[in-house]
Amino acid sequence: MTTLKDIAKELGLSPATVSRALNGFPEVGARTRATVEEAAERMGYRPNPLAKKLVSGRSGMIGLVLKPDGSSQADPTLHEIMFGLSDQLAQRDMDLVFHASSSDDLLEPYKRLLDKNILDGFILNAPEEDDPRIRFLQERDVPFVVHGRAAGHDYAYYDIDNRGLARDSVDLLLNLGHRRIALLNGQAGRSYAQDREAGYRDAMGRAGLTVPEFAVQYGPANEDHGYTKGLALLSGRFGPRPTAIFCVSTPVAAGLYRAAQDIGLSIPGDLSVIAHDDAVPQMRAVNFEPALTVTRSPLRDACKPLAAKMEALLKGAPADILQTLAPVDLIARNSTGPVPTEGETPW
Amino acid sequence: MTTLKDIAKELGLSPATVSRALNGFPEVGARTRATVEEAAERMGYRPNPLAKKLVSGRSGMIGLVLKPDGSSQADPTLHEIMFGLSDQLAQRDMDLVFHASSSDDLLEPYKRLLDKNILDGFILNAPEEDDPRIRFLQERDVPFVVHGRAAGHDYAYYDIDNRGLARDSVDLLLNLGHRRIALLNGQAGRSYAQDREAGYRDAMGRAGLTVPEFAVQYGPANEDHGYTKGLALLSGRFGPRPTAIFCVSTPVAAGLYRAAQDIGLSIPGDLSVIAHDDAVPQMRAVNFEPALTVTRSPLRDACKPLAAKMEALLKGAPADILQTLAPVDLIARNSTGPVPTEGETPW
DNA sequence: TTCAAAATTCAAAACGTTTTAAATTCTGCG
DNA sequence: CGCAGAATTTAAAACGTTTTGAATTTTGAA
């Protein structure tokens, strides 16, 4: 293993000069720099990041803490984020330190990792309203970037326009004449679920429609939830059944498709379905039968900005300029159609 | 941030003594040790692992490199391993550095991470026959533990008895009178697939049965593979169809169930099915209809020994005593039954 | 040629720990 | 009391880098 000193000795220079030459400082002579670079290359020099961090305070390691989410199925979402993030961080010469926390105490893993004193920052996902992790990291002055965003956000984040996409989705359904539009939402505390609900209520309100309590159903964004809550909604148990349903994710829509089939309703004849599509590879909206109308924003797309923001943050950029709210495309396919004639009366 | 020096100064001791006191060296006086421990506690001292590693060569960071496995669905297997491993490593005060390699060059991510000089070792999964990663890490003298094992293994590993479980599975089918037994195997190169095939052939050979080439089908261990290859096998296209099939995983069995249903075969009336069950939460063998007979070894069970072996390895234990081959239980349920009368003739 | 200023380079300290070798303080025995 | 040996503690070096402040060399103008 060649060190800075080795190169210095080899060239009869001081370690200081070699360090500066390799780090592009302006005060080092052109000839010297060339010599040093050549020698470094030739001797296969790799800086030791530990030593670097010891003096500079940077290790290039970024933490990601996830909850096992015991109940539900293996979340393809996490898979997508982890692989994408690792890839994008690597391209910026950072690495992902992954931690699965089974602990009840949300903050415990963060404390543990921070104690080790080896991480430069954290990526957080799925924030909740007034998330304790965010407060904690802010107090300790640890750099972090959030995927998603909760209210009162004075930190770096990347989020999609959840409120807007919900509005757009509902507007599309309204334009098709639907009035009884339900929302199969994600888990109640999550900010993305709240934002989408707000957008849904915006659109419904603007159309002068009231939203009965049962029209919004919460739960984990998976197929089971779509099936059971879909069944409940379509059974007529709550009153006249919705003619259109906006789903928080494609797996939820898949469950809803099954429920509709079991009940004998045709899509889009009896029921229009629209969903938000995270574009995970194993659940492709085009392969639905009929093909699913969606608002689409690939989870993968989030990884690059997240990594870039982290990089900028570590370089000293202020968090408040590192905020992105990405717009979302609406792709109309075959799961949405005009309201059936007998279903035009609002709730 | 309190350092060793701070404590030393506070107590009027030298950093050396403080270091020794906290690390349990025998030569430090009882009273001194008590004082030091008290002060460390009181001042909230956390050793800086970077400085530690700089001198000791240990960081407590363990690398795990995974391929995105683009084609297939989000592998619940990986999910299970990552969460379990992270948890078990954390219990031993180690951390998981995760890297998703999209690169064609298998070794590139290992090189990159090694260059950073920050990892203590690697966990490898799904080794192949004569795996280049293993050769590479051995050459460089990097500690590693393998989940699974390839031939000629002179390294630390944890594996289940793939050959034995395959033999047991086939024996069970043989005892029920089956003769035309097929194997829906995993991907050809993988050592676990090879071992299971060997066990299958052992049992078939001992029963004096020949195995036609089409009776062993390779592919990714997912539902699609089970469905398409199952359909092919059951269609009769290759000759008389098998009366029993041994599946390499429960998702494969799920695909096979669908294929059998589509073709109109009943399980276990017309077809017996047995599978190996990794016990991932989202595909429970008991919930199959009929409940699936399996050999069972939860993937989670692998994580603890893997972490423990890594810990031992780093403490200097020789790799060749850190080898475990775990036996596997066979659980008979309702997907296996006696051979149908018209299917008793061997291939 | 001389000298100040600019451009380079250097030696040493620092980061927080462990470890080596040496120094100091105890202990108990004669 | 004196001293060998044990027990304890210390100072200093080391790990590989960056950074500070000082020293050296080069440059250009007088």
Q: Are residues B338 and B219 in the same domain?
A: yes
Protein-strand C interface by C-beta, 7 A: A 12-17, 20, 27-32, 51, 54-55; B 1, 3-5, 15-16, 19-20, 22-23, 45-48, 51-52, 54-56
Shortest Cα distance from A40 to chain B (angstroms)? 14
> Would residue A335 count as lying in a domain?
yes
Which bases along strand D come within 7 Å of a protein CB atom? 7-21
Q: Are residues B239 and B276 in the same domain?
A: yes
The answer to whether B50 contacts A48, with C-beta atoms less than 8 Å apart, is no
Q: Are residues B174 and B322 in the same domain?
A: no
Element (H, E) at B217: strand B216-217
Q: Report yes or no: B109 at the A interface, CB cutoff 8 Å.
A: yes
Residues 6+ apart with CB under 8 A from B165: B196, B199, B276, B295, B297, B328, B330
CA atoms within 13 A on the CB side of A116: 24
Count of structural domains, chain A? 3
User: Which residue from B minimizes the CA distance to A90?
Assistant: B99
**Over residues A309-320, mean pLDDT:** 88
Per-residue pLDDT of A36-82, as tens digits, reads 999 999 998 988 877 887 887 778 889 999 887 654 455 778 888 99
Write out chain A residues lying below 8 Å of B49, CB-based.
Answer: 116-118
Give residue B100's pLDDT.
87
Write out chain B residues lying below 8 Å of A49, CB-based.
Answer: 116-118
Task: Please report which confidence band the pLDDT of residue A98 belongs to, taking 50, 70 and 90 as the band edges.
Answer: very high
Q: Report yes or no: A216 at the B interface, CB cutoff 8 Å.
A: no
- Which amino acid, residue A238? F
Residue B184's alpha-carbon distances to A245, B200, B246, in angstroms, are 40, 11, 6
Q: In degrees to the nearest 10, what's the CA dihedral of A245, A250, A251, A252?
A: -20
Protein-strand D interface by C-beta, 7 A: A 1, 3-5, 15-16, 19-20, 22-23, 45-48, 51-52, 54-56; B 12-17, 20, 27-32, 51, 54-55
**B254 within 8 A of B223, measured Cβ to Cβ:** yes
Per-residue pLDDT of A167-207, as tens digits, reads 999 999 999 999 999 999 999 989 999 999 999 999 999 99
User: Which residue from B minimizes the CA distance to A281?
Assistant: B73
> Would residue A33 count as lying in a domain?
yes
Cβ-defined contacts of B34-37 (< 8 Å, 24+):
B35/B11, B36/B7, B36/B11
Write out chain B residues lying below 8 Å of A142, CB-based.
Answer: none
Q: Report yes or no: B82 at the A interface, CB cutoff 8 Å.
A: yes
Element (H, E) at B56: helix B49-56
Give residue A69's pLDDT.
62
Per-residue pLDDT of A118-127, as tens digits, reads 888 999 998 8
Which residues 139-198 in chain A show a CB within 8 A of chain B? Answer: none
Question: Is the pLDDT at A7 greater than 80, yes or no?
Answer: yes
Q: Are residues B183 and B257 in the same domain?
A: yes
Of B50, B87, B280, the CB nearest to A117: B50
Q: Are residues B115 and B242 in the same domain?
A: no
User: Which residue from A minimizes the CA distance to B46?
Assistant: A115
Give residue B72's pLDDT.
41
Q: Are residues B246 and B277 in the same domain?
A: yes
Q: Are residues B235 and B255 in the same domain?
A: yes
Q: Are residues A40 and A92 in the same domain?
A: no
The answer to whether A99 contacts B98, with C-beta atoms less than 8 Å apart, is no
Give residue A68's pLDDT.
72
Q: Report yes or no: A78 at the B interface, CB cutoff 8 Å.
A: yes
CA–CA distance, B172 with B335 (Å, rounded to integer): 12
Q: Are residues B22 and B119 in the same domain?
A: no
Interface A–B counts its CB contacts (< 8 A) at 115
Average of per-residue pLDDT values in chain A:
91
The answer to whether B97 contacts A95, with C-beta atoms less than 8 Å apart, is yes
Q: Are residues A74 and A151 in the same domain?
A: yes
Q: Are residues B179 and B272 in the same domain?
A: yes
User: What CATH number corresponds to the domain at position A321?
Assistant: 3.40.50.2300
Of B1, B50, B90, the CB nearest to A50: B50
The answer to whether A117 contacts B46, with C-beta atoms less than 8 Å apart, is yes
Nearest CA among A239, A295, A233, A241 for reference residue A270: A241
CA–CA distance, A49 with A3 (Å, rounded to integer): 12
Residues 6+ apart with CB under 8 A from A128: A150, A189, A190, A191
**B246 within 8 A of B180, measured Cβ to Cβ:** no
Shortest Cα distance from B97 to chain A (angstroms)? 4
* Paired tokens of A229: 């809550």
> Would residue A56 count as lying in a domain?
no
> Would residue A52 count as lying in a domain?
no
* Paired tokens of A48: 């030791």
**A176 within 8 A of A339, measured Cβ to Cβ:** yes
Write out chain B residues lying below 8 Å of A117, CB-based.
Answer: 1, 46, 48-50
> Would residue B55 count as lying in a domain?
no
Per-residue pLDDT of A219-277, as tens digits, reads 999 899 999 999 999 999 998 999 999 999 999 999 999 999 999 999 999 999 999 99
Q: Are residues A204 and A245 in the same domain?
A: yes
Q: Which residues constitute the domain of residue A248?
A: 162-298+330-343
Q: What is the pLDDT along chain B (347 residues), one digit of tens a residue?
A: 789 999 999 999 999 999 999 998 888 888 999 999 999 999 989 888 778 888 877 788 899 998 876 544 557 788 889 999 999 998 888 899 999 887 788 898 898 888 777 888 999 998 888 899 999 999 888 999 999 998 778 999 999 999 999 999 999 999 999 999 999 999 998 999 999 999 999 999 999 999 999 999 999 998 999 999 999 999 999 989 999 999 999 999 999 999 999 999 999 999 999 999 999 887 899 999 999 999 999 999 999 999 999 999 988 888 888 999 999 999 999 999 999 998 899 98
Q: Is B179 helix (H, G, I), strand (E, B) or coil?
A: coil
Full strand arrangement of the beta sheet holding A244-247: A216-217, A181-184, A244-247, A272-277, A293-296, A329-331
> Would residue A189 count as lying in a domain?
yes
Give residue A301's pLDDT.
95
> Would residue B54 count as lying in a domain?
no
> Would residue A54 count as lying in a domain?
no
Per-residue pLDDT of A262-274, as tens digits, reads 999 999 999 999 9
